[in-house]
Chain A
Amino acid sequence: MDGSPAGTTQDSALAEKAEEVEDPAAIAARDQAWTEGLMAVRAGMVGNRWVRLLRWLVLGVVIVVLLLMARNIATHSQPLAYFLQTIVYGLGSGSLYALIALGYTMVYGIIELINFAHADVVTFGGFISLSVVTAFGFKEGVVNGPLILLALVPITAGTMLVCGLLNITIERVAYRPLRNAPRVSPLITAAGMSFVLEGLMFLWKGPVNNHYPDLIPTGQLTLIGTTVRIKDAVVVVLALLLVLALDTFVTKSKLGKAMRATAQDRDAASLMGIDINRTIAATFFIGAVLAGFAGTMYGLYFGNIVFDLGFATGLVAFTAAVLGGIGNIRGAALGGLCIGMFEAFWNSYFVSAWTQVMIFVILTLVLLFRPAGLLGMRVPDRT
């Protein structure tokens, strides 16, 4: 080689360009180093006497709280009825949290993105079905009895479809172009989409609480002093069915298999002939279908819906997903139920201003003892 200056410049320019693109191997190596570093820190902490002591202390506090709760449960004037009633209400809100948590967990499982906009899609679903319900003039007293279900089923189905399409659009516009960008970028666009949706819903329905007509037929069953209304039963049973259906779908169907393959190793899946874009879009679609259902159910069950509902609810639902083990569908369902139940118990037996704090204390504790969540996390292999 003649080593002309011009040639050198060109070479170094090429080298610079290559560095800018940064090959996947380098990223993997860096991620590996990070992971190892974190593991080392964790191992160091586990070995530390003070950390062990702290764990025992925390365990002690938890036991004291549980004992206090047990005392409150036992000393209540109608211990059994009140206890069972609390379980019924806990299951109701817990199954809604579970439905929302599924959307978070599926998306995180497949592309490691916290989809902040997910809970806003839930709210959006509630708004859509509310608009349709209002447009048809359905409200309490106008239509009664089981016949209303004939109208509610197609309305809910339509809402689920619209939400699915919306979420696919969001994925196409805000997440897909950033799929290979540093992980924080899609996180920011997710937060951005959340604000965009909230803003649109604010313009659409205003800042006030919107009343959602109580359309599910009234009627109740009383057992051992515990009331189960049709509403409570409908929410819990339908949510349970949906979770089971989703679980079967992901484990048994071809698309489900493709989703699991993509989640496990995107490149290998792609080599096996799986259409990655289509699979990821399908994941978003399914998550949002559940969101549309959850939004409608939320309105019917709680009787109101407000534009910024997604913020608080989303945080709790995401917590549920992490609690159960992020990426794990059964985990998300379990986490949602646990948090709903915990909320109900804390509100019933303790000072409720502390409920939110305690939820996050529980989360911290679970992660301290079981970092992968209750049922273990399922996230993409990066190496």
Chain B
Amino acid sequence: MRLTRLKALALPVAAVFATVACGGGGTTGGGSSKGTIVIASDYPASGGEASTGIPEQQAVAFAVSQHQTIKGFTIQYKPFDDAINGVHDPQKGAQNATTMAGDSSIVAMVGPNNSNVAKAMIPILAAVPLAMVSPANTNECLTKSFSYCNPAPSELRKGSTNNYFRIAGTDDQQGPAMAVYAHDTLKFTKAAIFSDNETFGKGVADNFQKKWTSLGGTVVVRNDYDAKNTSDFKTYINSAKSGGAQFVYIGATTGNKPCIFKAQMKGILDVPLTGPDGFALDPQCIKDAGDNATNIYGTTAGSDPVAGNDPNAKSTIDAYKKVYSKPTDIATYTFQSYDCAILLIDAIGRAIDANQNGDITTPVFSYYQSDPTNTATGGWKYLSSQGVTSSS
């Protein structure tokens, strides 16, 4: 039997979002097959980025193997590779999207891994429509309308109904996530806030600042530096010091020197540096900070079920490890990819009414602290993962 590609599918996915998000779904179905439903995926599965992409694919395959039929339909899995010369490629993503659009047995896909690939795929798949659920995209402009978003989410979908969902928190929620952590866990009250003055860095610092002041924190200094022309941060550090800052927040990517800032704090101001995934978990940051690399805190978008020893995820992780036993079979977004697949399978099994724009309502962020002596993890230590309910 031919399965009509449901306009409706996007809606059940949204509904499941509100209820399941980041958990494991239950199995449904059984009985004789009424037909075949194909779930696709799009990840960088060759070259250097395969270390992330292959485990993501395996996780989808694993989820499908757990749920081989649903309400009488057989589920199959078809992976796509969006890497060219080892690097994720938006053009290749768009090509894959066109292929998927032409194959009527494919009803939905998991992925992609990278925001710029998603940006290329959304317009093609929104027109079909074909639902996408990404475990890893964090660019806020894929779903949220800000003045600096080009194109705006509605333009990206070209007037079609939304088909895009994700379980990663967005960049605009990262700043608030660290504000909450600094306030509630680290118990600080005075912040010095800086940024590299770029879209991501400044945005994340602005959102940090908004949340921080709303929590009652004091901002002793706020300055945005010109990353290309600045290598002397001592005056900034001095301004933080003279205001009595208990910690520094820098919205920046590693290349824009936040960790060099930390290196120069040595002997002047001995307080923690905090920041977004622009430098969190990046071994280069630890190198940049030299012998002052302790006491750096960072967030990443999404939970870390393995390092976090999540008891709810334990049985799934163990089962997955039985099938895929190599250490390299688990990478950053592996179980997020599994969750996305489960979510889709669940959504396919339902037909409920649903809501708006494809982001999760309770994004989870993981917190990491620098740990320079631990070379096995690139110099970072997992602290915790927390849901951030009251995003700005």
Q: Which A residues lie at the B interface, using CB under 8 A? A: 76-78, 81-82, 85-86, 89-90, 92-93, 139-141, 207-209, 211, 213-214, 218, 220, 227, 229, 231, 298, 302-304, 309, 312-313, 316, 343-344, 347-348, 351-353, 355-356
Q: Mark interface residues in B212-242 (1 if CB within 8 Å of A CB, else 0).
A: 0000000000011110111110111011001
Chain B contacts for A209, CB-based, 8 A: 255, 257, 260, 284, 288
Q: List 18 A-B contacts (CB under 8 A).
A: A82-B239, A85-B238, A89-B232, A92-B232, A93-B232, A207-B255, A209-B260, A209-B284, A209-B288, A213-B291, A227-B268, A316-B229, A344-B235, A347-B225, A347-B239, A351-B224, A352-B225, A356-B229
Q: Which of A76, A93, A227, A351 contacts B223 (CB 8 A)?
A: A351
For the residues of A in contact with B, the DSSP-based class is helix
The 5 closest A-B pairs by CB, nearest first: A140-B291, A347-B235, A312-B229, A303-B263, A89-B234
Residue of A nearest to B284 (CB): A208
Whether B288 lies near A352 (C-beta < 8 A) is: no
**Given the complex, which residues of B lie within 8 Å of A211, measured CB to CB?**
263, 287-290
Contacts of B226 in A (CB 8 A): 352-353, 355-356
Q: Across the interface, do A141 and B267 meet the contact criterion of CB distance under 8 Å? A: no
Question: Once the chains bind, are B268 and A214 in contact (CB under 8 Å)?
Answer: no
Chain B residues with CB below 8 A from A81, complex form: 242
Check A348 against B239 for contact (C-beta < 8 Å).
yes
Tell which of B234, B239, B257 has the most Cβ of chain A within 10 Å: B234
- Inter-subunit contact A353/B242 (CB<8 Å): no
Q: A140-B291, A211-B263 known; A76 and B242 CB under 8 Å?
A: yes
* Extra 11 A-B pairs, beta carbons < 8 Å, given A353-B224, A353-B226: A86-B235, A92-B232, A140-B291, A208-B284, A211-B290, A213-B290, A304-B257, A312-B229, A352-B223, A352-B225, A355-B226
Within 8 A of A (CB), among B243-293: 243, 255, 257, 260, 263-264, 266-268, 284, 287-291
Nearest-neighbor residue (CB-CB) of A232 within chain B: B234
Q: Closest B residue to A225 by CB, please name it.
A: B242
The A-B contact count (CB < 8 A) is 96
A78-B242, A209-B255, A352-B223 known; A309+B234 contact, CB < 8 A: no
CB pair B268–A347 under 8 Å, yes or no, is no
The smallest C-beta distance from B263 to any residue of chain A, in angstroms, reads 4
The interface residues of chain B lying within 8 Å CB-to-CB of A352 are 223-226, 230, 236
CB B273 to nearest CB in A, in angstroms, measures 14
Closest to A301 in B: B232
Complex alpha-carbon distance, A214 and B223, angstroms: 26
B228 close to A312 (CB less than 8 A):
yes
**Across the interface, which residues of B come within 8 angstroms of A309, CB to CB?**
231
Residues of chain B having any CB pair with chain A under 8 Å: 197, 223-226, 228-232, 234-236, 238-239, 242-243, 255, 257, 260, 263-264, 266-268, 284, 287-291
Measured CA separation A86–B241 after assembly (Å): 12
- Of chain A, the residue at the smallest CB distance from B225 is A352
Q: B290 — which chain A residues lie within 8 A by C-beta? A: 140, 211, 213-214, 303
A141 touches B291 (CB 8 A): yes
The CA-CA distance from A213 to B232 in the complex, in Å, is 16
Q: Which residue of B lies closest to A227 (CB)?
A: B268
- Closest chain-A Cβ to B198's Cβ sits at a distance in Å of 11
Cα-based distance from A207 to B288 in the complex (angstroms): 13
Are B267 and A229 neighbours in the complex by a CB distance under 8 Å? yes
Q: B291 is contacted by which of A214, A220, A316, A355 (Cβ under 8 Å)?
A: A214
Residues of chain B within 8 A of A353, CB atoms compared: 197, 223-226
Is B242 in contact with A208, judged by CB distance below 8 angstroms? Answer: no
Given known pairs A77-B242, A82-B238, the reply for A302 and B291 (CB within 8 Å) is no
- Report B-chain residues with C-beta under 8 Å of the C-beta of A302: 231-232, 260, 264
Nearest residue (CB) in B for A207 is: B255
Cross-interface CB contact of B238 among A93, A312, A348, cutoff 8 Å: A348
Q: For residue B197, which residues in chain A have a CB less than 8 angstroms away from its CB?
A: 353
A139 contacts which chain B residues (CB < 8 A)? 291
Q: Which residues of A contact B255 (CB under 8 A)?
A: 207-209
Closest chain A residue to B262 by CB distance?
A303
Chain A CB count within 10 A is highest, among B225, B229, B236, for B229
Contact B287 A92 (CB under 8 A): no
**How far does the alpha carbon of A343 sit from the alpha carbon of B230 in the complex, in Å?**
10
Question: Residue on A with the closest CB to B286?
Answer: A211
Docked-complex contact B238 and A86, CB < 8 angstroms: yes
User: Smallest CB–CB gap between B87 and chain A, Å?
Assistant: 15
CB distance from B187 to the nearest CB of A (A): 23
Contacts of A303 in B (CB 8 A): 260, 263-264, 290
A356 neighbours in B (Cβ, 8 Å): 226, 229
Q: How far is the CA of A93 from the CA of B263 in the complex (A)?
A: 16
The interface residues of chain A lying within 8 Å CB-to-CB of B264 are 302-303
Closest-by-CB residue of A relative to B239 is: A348
Chain B residue at minimal CB-CB distance from A230: B267
User: Nearest chain-B residue to A77 (Cβ)?
Assistant: B242
A36 to B227, CA, bound (A): 43
A208 to B285, CA, bound (A): 10
Residues on A with C-beta less than 8 A from B232 are: 89, 92-93, 302, 343
Across-interface contacts of B287 in A (CB, < 8 A): 211
A211-B290, A352-B225 known; A220+B235 contact, CB < 8 A: no
B260 cross-chain contacts in A, Cβ below 8 A: 209, 302-304
Within the complex, what minimum Cβ distance (angstroms) separates A334 from chain B? 19
B235 and A89 form a contact (CB under 8 A): yes
Interface centre among A77, A81, A347 (most CB of B within 10 A): A347
Looking at A92, A218, A303, A347, the one whose CB has the most chain B CB atoms below 10 A away is A303
Q: Which residues of B contact A348 (CB under 8 A)?
A: 235, 238-239
Alpha-carbon distance A267/B268, docked complex (angstroms): 55
Chain B residues whose C-beta falls within 8 Å of the C-beta of A312 in the assembled complex: 228-229
Q: Which of B257, B267, B289 contacts A220 (CB 8 A)?
A: B267
Expressed in whole angstroms, the Cα–Cα distance for A347 and B191 within the complex equals 18
